[in-house]
Structure 1
Amino acid sequence: MASRSHRRTVPRRRTALVTAVALAVAGLVVTLAMAFRPAHQADTVRAASTPTAAEPTGKPQPKPTPTPTPSTASPAPTTSTPATHTAHATPASSAQQSSTTTSPTAPRPASGAAPLAGRIKPGVTYSGVATHYAAGDGDGACLYGPSPDLMVAAMNHTDYEVSKACGAYLLVRTAGGASVTVRITNECPECAPGQLDLSEQAFAGLGALSAGRIPITWSLLSPGTSDPIAIRYKTGSSRDWCGIQALGHRNPLARLEVRDGGGWRQLTRTDYDYFLSPDGTGCGGSLRLTDIYGQQLTVDGIAVRPDVVQSTHVQFALR
């Protein structure tokens, strides 16, 4: 008689054999199914099993660091520090070098970046007081000579900034809404930062002369004009030494350069708004004018003729 263990062993072998056969058949079916699967379905399966870069991987992604936004608050003119600029601050684009004279339009506050501006910057409103003086013919420290109109002003010494303010147009307002447009032709050495000393004619547009002092705000303008810029050589100028002045520029002038060989040489600006060439370099040659916005104008054909105003037939673009 077979032992109990022998009778239990036989069924196990049969079960194992059946199982093995079943597995083999299943494997054959799977193999045949995969062999006859269309190629694009196999690719789809593989693609679905591979995560893409856009799919979350389960790992927390770091949050981007926010970029600080610069403050838009206007600096107080009494505490601002003059900006320092090099001779090659920002090259002008070809569009900015256009010599086309702009048709006259109504004055409006200047806007946009001004990389060559000094203390007085476009888009900034400055606070101070207005006083008045007898302007005579409108001439002053800028040595422009008699003014065609007497809506002129003297800039305080701080904001005059070694004649960088010369020729700038300003919109001056009172709290009551009165306003005038003036051109800087003079300096007021004893005036406080932010203060403007207006001609009596300009002051009268804001209030009675008897008021003496009026609180004001003022900002830079880029006025509409059809008049071109003019050039004048200083008394005593020659091919060996010269002083050069630009007149009637719409926007504040930042640099005046002369041709020096194959390049340009920046001339030193005086506090009476002439640019000097002590060794005669460029006297009577090509000139390049750059405003505070980086716009450049190249002028040829201006001879050394002391004290003669010579038109350039070009003007900076309205800003």
Structure 2
Amino acid sequence: MEETRQAARQRRRRRRLMVGGATGLVVTGLLACLVMAMQPDRKEDAGRAAATAVANSQASRTPASPGKKKSPTPSPSEVSASPSAGAKNKKKKPKASPSPSPSSAAPRKAPAAAPSGGRIRPGSTYQGVATVYKAGVGDGACSYGPSADMMIAAMNTTDYETSKACGAYVLVRAENGASVTVRITNECPLPCAPGQLDLSEQAFAKLAPVSTGRISISWSLLSPDTAGTISIRYKNGSSPYWCGIQAIGHRNPLARLEVRAGGGWRQLTRTDYNYFLSPDGSGCGGAIRITDIYGERLTINGIAVRPDAVQPAGVQFARH
């Protein structure tokens, strides 16, 4: 009886094991089917995800509207130049503009030394008018005193230029072809215009009847073949403590007058009455150096401080 019960229990255990094994096989098969069924969906989802990413990337790079092109973002090397390159750029200087051709250049320049002599330049011709005045004994603003030669003229204030024109020889030409050479000894004040010369009656008569009173002229600077040498005169009141010095009879206009002082040359200031002043007396009675508008220098020694005395210097500028 007992054996029968044990055999029955064993049979029931085997059935449970067989059922459990079958059930396990069924479950395993179902799981495998589910896994295989799900794999295509995963590939499709992955493909969709990739397509979505590409689409989103293309949408983010939509081109701007025409006429408003966006500049591409520069790379770091384009944004910041190296310090050495920046330094080179700062050191670069703009190229100078080319010099004008001779046809477009300014009017012909006078010699290098001429500008220090004033407005009247060698080699230039000036246009203006000639008027006439009674010159008397020939004295004038240049303080030369009476003149033995009355071929003289007064220069307009602009070209007189604080007595820089004093002593200049000028060739004057009229429209009728007549000409005369005059020496500047005086100043013609306003309303005398630039280019205007006020001639002595004697000089005007060489060009036209004095009664005409006013004619058109052209004139230019001369370096004439004059006789004689330069003289020096100290102004009244001159002493070793203050002096005024004047040069007389120079062939060419003066550019400067200097005196020897302090171991060198000191340039004196020119007045409108044609004296060069030394306010503190330095150089008075010593060596004098004069320079003409062509740059020639002459040194004069042995001129004592003798007020209002004309003292020959024994020298003369070269002719040009």
Q: TM-score range by the shorter chain?
A: 0.5 to 0.7
Q: Hey, what's the Cα distance between the residues in 1 that align with 2:232 and 2:315?
A: 11
Q: Hey, what's the Cα distance between the residues in 2 that align with 1:66 and 1:197?
A: 40
Kindly tell me: are residues 167 and 71 of structure 1, through their superposed partners in 2, closer, same or farther at Cα, counting changes over 3 Å?
farther
Q: Hey, what's the Cα distance between the residues in 2 that align with 1:135 and 1:66?
A: 48
Kindly tell me: are residues 126 and 234 of structure 1, through their superposed partners in 2, closer, same or farther at Cα, counting changes over 3 Å?
same
Shift of the alpha carbon at 1:73? 6.8
Q: Which amino acid counterpart does residue 258 of structure 2 have in structure 1?
A: E
Q: Map of 1:240-255 to 2, 5 A cutoff?
A: 240-255=241-256
CA displacement 1:106-144 (0-9 Å, x = unmatched): xxxxx8553433110011100000000000011000000
Kindly tell me: are residues 74 and 125 of structure 1, through their superposed partners in 2, closer, same or farther at Cα, counting changes over 3 Å?
farther
Q: Map of 1:269-288 to 2, 5 A cutoff?
A: 269-288=270-289
Q: Hey, what's the Cα distance between the residues in 1 that align with 2:281 and 2:128?
A: 42
Question: Corresponding residue for 1:102?
Answer: none
Kindly tell me: are residues 300 and 66 of structure 1, through their superposed partners in 2, closer, same or farther at Cα, counting changes over 3 Å?
closer
Question: Corresponding residue for 1:53?
Answer: none
Q: Hey, what's the Cα distance between the residues in 2 that align with 1:71 and 1:135?
A: 44
CA displacement 1:279-309 (0-9 Å, x = unmatched): 0000000000000111000000000000100
Q: Which amino acid counterpart does residue 145 of structure 1 have in structure 2?
A: G
Is the counterpart of residue 140 in structure 1 residue 140 in structure 2? yes
Q: Map of 1:10-89 to 2, 5 A cutoff?
A: 68-69=101-102, 74=107
Kindly tell me: are residues 228 and 70 of structure 1, through their superposed partners in 2, closer, same or farther at Cα, counting changes over 3 Å?
farther
Q: Which amino acid counterpart does residue 142 of structure 1 have in structure 2?
A: C
DSSP-derived class of the 2:259 partner:
strand
Is the counterpart of residue 256 in structure 1 residue 257 in structure 2? yes
Shift of the alpha carbon at 1:67? 7.1
Q: Hey, what's the Cα distance between the residues in 2 that align with 1:157 and 1:178?
A: 25
Q: Hey, what's the Cα distance between the residues in 1 that align with 2:161 and 2:128?
A: 17
Is the counterpart of residue 123 in structure 1 residue 156 in structure 2? no
CA displacement 1:218-241 (0-9 Å, x = unmatched): 000001123100000000101110
Shift of the alpha carbon at 1:260? 1.1
Kindly tell me: are residues 209 and 72 of structure 1, through their superposed partners in 2, closer, same or farther at Cα, counting changes over 3 Å?
farther
Question: Corresponding residue for 1:170?
Answer: 170
Q: Hey, what's the Cα distance between the residues in 1 that align with 2:235 and 2:103?
A: 44
Is the counterpart of residue 232 in structure 1 residue 265 in structure 2? no
Q: Which amino acid counterpart does residue 119 of structure 1 have in structure 2?
A: R
Deviating 4+ runs (over 2 angstroms): 65-75, 111-117
Question: Corresponding residue for 1:197?
Answer: 198
In structure 1, runs of 5+ residues without a counterpart are 1-64, 76-82, 84-110
Question: Corresponding residue for 1:207?
Answer: 208
**Is the contact made by 1:112 and 1:123 (CA closer than 8 Å) also made in structure 2?**
no
Question: Corresponding residue for 1:306?
Answer: 307
Question: Corresponding residue for 2:28?
Answer: none
Q: Hey, what's the Cα distance between the residues in 2 that align with 1:180 and 1:67?
A: 38
Aligned residue pairs total 221
In structure 2, runs of 5+ residues without a counterpart are 1-97
Kindly tell me: are residues 259 and 174 of structure 1, through their superposed partners in 2, closer, same or farther at Cα, counting changes over 3 Å?
same
Q: Which amino acid counterpart does residue 146 of structure 1 have in structure 2?
A: P
Shift of the alpha carbon at 1:66? 8.3
Q: Which amino acid counterpart does residue 184 of structure 1 have in structure 2?
A: I
Question: Corresponding residue for 1:151?
Answer: 151
Shift of the alpha carbon at 1:261? 2.0
Q: Which amino acid counterpart does residue 152 of structure 2 have in structure 1?
A: V
**Is the contact made by 1:74 and 1:124 (CA closer than 8 Å) also made in structure 2?**
no
DSSP-derived class of the 1:236 partner:
coil
Shift of the alpha carbon at 1:72? 7.2
**Is the contact made by 2:115 and 2:121 (CA closer than 8 Å) also made in structure 1?**
no
**Structure holding more helix per residue:** 2
Kindly tell me: are residues 214 and 313 of structure 1, through their superposed partners in 2, closer, same or farther at Cα, counting changes over 3 Å?
same
Q: Hey, what's the Cα distance between the residues in 2 that align with 1:67 and 1:179?
A: 37
If asked which structure has higher relative contact order (CA below 8 Å, sep 6+), I would say 1
DSSP-derived class of the 1:116 partner:
helix
**Is the contact made by 2:155 and 2:197 (CA closer than 8 Å) also made in structure 1?**
yes
Question: Corresponding residue for 2:61?
Answer: none
TM-score computed with the length of structure 2 as normaliser: 0.66
**Is the contact made by 1:116 and 1:293 (CA closer than 8 Å) also made in structure 2?**
no
Question: Corresponding residue for 2:187?
Answer: 187
Q: Hey, what's the Cα distance between the residues in 2 that align with 1:276 and 1:70?
A: 44
TM-score computed with the length of structure 1 as normaliser: 0.66
